[in-house]
Amino acid sequence: MSNKLKFAFYWSASCGGCEVAVLDVNEKILDVAKIADIVFWPVAIDVKYKDVEAMPDKSIDVCFFNGAVRTSEQEEIAKLLRTKSKIMVSFGSCACLGGIPGLANQYSSEEIMYEAYIKALSVTNEEKVMPKILTKVSEGELELPRFYEKVYTLDEVVEVDYYLPGCPPTAEWIAKAVEAIAKGQLPPKGSVIGIDKTVCEECQKERTSEKKIKKIYRPYEIIPDPKKCLLDQGIICMGPATRGGCKAACPNVNMPCRGCYGPAPNVYDQGAKMMSAVASIIDSTNEEEIEKILSDVKDVIGTFYQFSLEKSFLKGNIKPQIETETYVGEERREYPRVMADYLVVYRVLTEEEKKDITVTKNLSLGGMCLTTNRSFNKGERIILEMKMPFLLQPVILLGEVVDSREIVKDLLYDTHLQFLSTDDKTKELLIKMINV
């Protein structure tokens, strides 16, 4: 029997770039072959799920699992590989953060299916045939994996030992991870295998001491000075809010960082951190001018949460309805509500020092729904500071808890509030916010 380590690789909800990245180590793949046998890698070797099921528990030394979890099959294999592996590595942005697939968490599964199979311009589906989990055919019954309501990160499904972020992880850090495994020099469990710096700290571009911008550009709208900081030139570069390790590969060739290495050390919400950074460098105190400058950000979620939506305060809880499900009858609420995602700092009226931050799920003239990290009692009064892109100062509101419902066990709650009093000026602001 071989004394080599046993490795497994799996490709879940992702593009496949992480699979290619493993080969990007080039000749170092021979060093990997010296220390380890690959016992499961569906993209490269002929091994079946049943073969993994037959392996003794914990017989795989390390599993590199790339991709998010979106289907029942992916969940099943993630749990199977966790059972069979001593060490589980969340490999790449999709597994660590939700990645590009996580952007789909802005929509319900029904909306996604409707868009893909009925509404898309490239689709001809007059009979509106939709995928089914079970389909009877003459040969028997065909079964498809269940498509879950949302995208999950790997650590939301199974216990993860280490994180190796990146889209994809660089060859350098893949090699370093393998070397650390071979030498038994892994960091403490739960660590990110990488560096505790931001992309900006690795970037070679010149930065000014005081950043001020009058316009935000999309990359195709400007030819930037290759020596100067992209953010200084009005291009949103996620470097200040993103963990380093890639040697600023994108900025150093004049493309803005997209944030694929995830939040910088000591940052939880990567997008909120970057939005705060951008807000601080707008060179204006005029509300209308500020609003005009910020309007150049055409896709807020795609810009600030391109890789990390599922690992943010937002959690992707933005679910507009598709045309076929829109209620067209008489409005039944006193105050019609809209789906909205505004940053809110909140605290219980009697707890001055215990502030927290979240994002609205929906908003109306009468109240709002927030995703909070604690439950509240009905009738508790909450001070709300709602931050708006077109205002320098937050909108201050007083709300009373209507209910607080658990949506993730012991972790997240949907808290519904009704506003206790709003003056005419505040009502005008709310109307503007609702109609943005």
pLDDT in tens, 355-373: 787 778 788 888 888 888 7
Q: Is residue 421 part of a domain?
A: yes
Question: What's the rounded mean pLDDT across residues 79-95?
Answer: 96
Q: At 321, is the pLDDT very low, low, confident or very high (cuts 50, 70, 90)? A: very low
The pLDDT mean for the chain works out to 86
Q: Look-up: residue for tokens 């700092």? A: 345
Question: What's the rounded mean pLDDT across residues 289-305?
Answer: 89
85 and 132 assigned to the same domain: no
Q: Is residue 137 part of a domain?
A: yes
357 and 424 assigned to the same domain: yes
Q: Is residue 314 part of a domain?
A: no
Question: Domains in the chain: how many in total?
Answer: 4
Among 271, 295, 319, give the residue marking a domain's end: 295
Question: What's the rounded mean pLDDT across residues 27-44?
Answer: 86
Percent of the chain with pLDDT strictly greater than 90 = 48
CATH of the domain at 93: 3.40.50.700
Q: Is residue 303 part of a domain?
A: no
243 and 142 assigned to the same domain: no
pLDDT of 386 reads 82
Q: Look-up: residue for tokens 């892994």? A: 186
pTM (whole model) above 0.75: no
pLDDT in tens, 48-86: 999 999 999 999 999 999 999 999 999 999 999 999 999
173 and 50 assigned to the same domain: yes
Q: At 325, is the pLDDT very low, low, confident or very high (cuts 50, 70, 90)? A: very low
138 and 162 assigned to the same domain: no
Structural domain of 114: 108-146
pLDDT of 268 reads 85
Burial 395-430 (b: 16+ CB within 10 A, else e): bebebbbeebeeeeeeebbbbbbebeebeeeeeebb
Residue 7 CA to residue 60 CA, distance in Å, equals 6
402 and 348 assigned to the same domain: yes
- The sign of the torsion formed by the CA atoms of 226, 231, 235, 241 equals positive
119 and 56 assigned to the same domain: no
pLDDT of 326 reads 34
Q: At 322, is the pLDDT very low, low, confident or very high (cuts 50, 70, 90)? A: very low
Q: Is residue 190 part of a domain?
A: no
Q: Is the pLDDT of residue 318 over 50?
A: no
Q: Is residue 236 part of a domain?
A: yes
pLDDT of 100 reads 95
Tell me which of 433 and 222 has the higher pLDDT: 222
165 and 142 assigned to the same domain: no
55 and 118 assigned to the same domain: no
